[in-house]
Amino acid sequence: MTRTAPPSSAPAADPLLQPFRLKHLIFRNRIMSTSHACGLAEGGMPAERYQRYHEAKAKGGIALTMFGGSSNVSPDSQWSSPQINLHDERIVEHLRRFSERIHARGARLMCQVSHVGGRGEPHAGARLAPIGPSPLRETLHRAFAREMDEHDVARVVADYARAAARCREGGLDGIETLAGAHLIGQFLSPATNRRTDRFGGSVENRCRFGLMVHEAIREAVGEDFVVGIRFVVDEAGEGRLDFEECLRIAGIFEASGTIDFFNAIYGRMDTQIKLATDCMPGMASPMAPFLARAGAFRQAVGLPVFHATRITELATARYAIREGLLDMVAMTRAQIADPELVAKLARGDEARVRPCVGATHCMSELRPTCLHNPSTGHERELPHEVEPAAAKHRVLVAGGGPAGLEAARVCAERGHEVRLVEASGRLGGQVLLATEASWRRDLVGLVDWREQELERLGVDVRFNRYVEPEAVGEDDADVVIVATGGIPDLDWLDGAAHCTSVWDVLSGAARPGDDTIVYDGTGRHAALTAAEKLRLAGSNVAFFGLDGHLAMEMAYSEQVVWRRRAYEIGIEPRLDRRLVRVERDGNRLRATFRNELTDAVETHEADQVVVEHGTLPADELFRGLRDRSSNRGVTDQKALLQGRPQPRAEGEGFQLFRIGDAVSSRNIHAAVLDAIRLCRVL
């Protein structure tokens, strides 16, 4: 199917809102979400929670939502993380409900149909040996593939066809296969296909397996069902597929008449760093890093081309469509951050779109939860919509970090009269310190968006003021929310008076020493951010960590970026060390460490010792108000988790709550989650 221009009656204002025809399907606009492993499958099925996650995007105006990243066509396509099992006949009834749900919202629904091949994990699922074109080891999943024989080829080709037929029977609008790094792609690439039979060697032979798969799929689903291929346009590596060879392969598949579109991807995903930079790059990578390559591919082929890779801004997406680089633009993670993205665009509220900042929290073990939108993936218990309150209250929020900003926003959305008091002259709290890392500046978008929303909602924001307990009277507020954050935790350390906190380094309050020891007691970003800043300022940095791995508390994509950054700036982490004490020795400092594995004690000298050990709650205000509050500062956890309002205690006085780091040292997501769970029913 060739490209079709939008009908003449379509709206002319925005290229992104133009309809697009693909065979018999008409997509209501040009914005889609690509298949991804969202981690919500239950027993291999896309059940209620999975469907609600995608329904939120369909309700928000998306044209096409694709699901089932790495949906399995065979029992030996297996990962330990939750995947969709298309080889299970029970899938059909789930797909029917799924299709009805998405179609009722006016969107289209497609599934990725795939076999992970040599990327499989031998101890997952049915615990079968992974298979591949050649007996090679994939670094990321750490398995050795068994070389497929002719029987395996015939079996897997038939499995693909049966899986595709189930998708059609389930009412889906189409499917895509995956030719990048998964089994079809493993046959295509000379790096993973070392065969000398009819499936290896020449380009034509390496295409044979993929062509057999698509021929079988087409026979199973018929000509009026859309079938595409998520296709790598450049593997970008020595001994791998380059752009020209990928174009040649694309021409072979296009000429076969078995596919209707290409979904262009770039690079590799067989190592942690390649997965984090080629496949799903975050804020350490530029915006839309492979759009130009996908656009060049689109100009060279005759089928429609879709593409996703860190296209998080509507301006970039609009450019891609307007300039003819793509036919459909995928904003997958942008809609994890804001599933109402298209609806806001359509009604002229583009400036109100909650931005994806590329934090990659959605790729952590909590996937697909967004760092600053806890509702994503939890639509049933935490709906994206904030409902108006039946009774209006006066709400005082103390603290303008992520927790306080979200509390003020949600309370104002519910119609409460909100005043936010911030001790400094700027909103953002610890987020402002986090942006000091060379590659994490986009985090400020979490603050900017909320600040903009507070202005729109008419929240009374006051800067450079502390809320004193004695100044809070019953006439000032019905509800007081303490979001005062925390302060660096150093008092536990023998010799803490000689040490510098990471906050002082990141804020610029402390000057770098010539020789600096940085101690990381959390495995979070703060210590590494301080170490990077000190190193770039010319300090010789010795980095010590309590954990056995660098960046232990982070998502894998953040871990690998920090590991790479440490190499780049010349920091060699020394791990499994617990800081015991710091002493002054003349004009130098002596730090004593104990090895967590051997108990061996070692000492190191420096001009400066910088310590990261999380924070302690800055809870003076909370403690000063607790006895005067009607609820004695108690948050009813059962009500909180069940989505019910906090019980109103008998007697006079305001209700008092605390959230975020004013409770305990955690991260941005926890702070925002605290706020929205409490305030959405306040």
Q: How many CA atoms lie within 13 A of 101 on its CB side?
A: 21
**Which element (helix H / strand E) includes 526?**
helix 525-536
- Told to judge if 151 belongs to the known catalytic residues of this protein, a careful annotator would answer no
Q: From CA 308, how far away is CA 327, in angstroms rounded?
A: 12
Asked if 618 contacts 485 with a C-beta cutoff of 8 angstroms, the reply is yes
Residue 272 to residues 37, 104, 143, 278, 563, Cα–Cα distance (Å)? 16, 39, 14, 10, 11
The angle at the Cα of 619, spanning 533 to 386, to the nearest 5 degrees, equals 85
Asked if 368 contacts 377 with a C-beta cutoff of 8 angstroms, the reply is yes
**Is there a cis peptide before residue 11, judged by omega within 30 degrees of 0?**
no
Asked if 74 contacts 63 with a C-beta cutoff of 8 angstroms, the reply is no
DSSP state of 80: S
**Coil vs helix vs strand at 517:** strand
The angle at the Cα of 390, spanning 455 to 388, to the nearest 5 degrees, equals 40
Question: b/e map of 304-331 (b: 16 or more CB within 10 Å)?
Answer: bbbbbbbbbbbebbbbbbeeebbbbbbb
Asked if 115 contacts 160 with a C-beta cutoff of 8 angstroms, the reply is yes
Structure tokens at 482: 């303490």
The angle at the Cα of 213, spanning 211 to 214, to the nearest 5 degrees, equals 65
**Coil vs helix vs strand at 545:** strand
Catalytic, out of 182, 214, 372, 378: 182
Closest C-alpha to 253, from 337, 179, 350: 179
**Coil vs helix vs strand at 226:** strand
Q: Return the active site residues.
A: 182
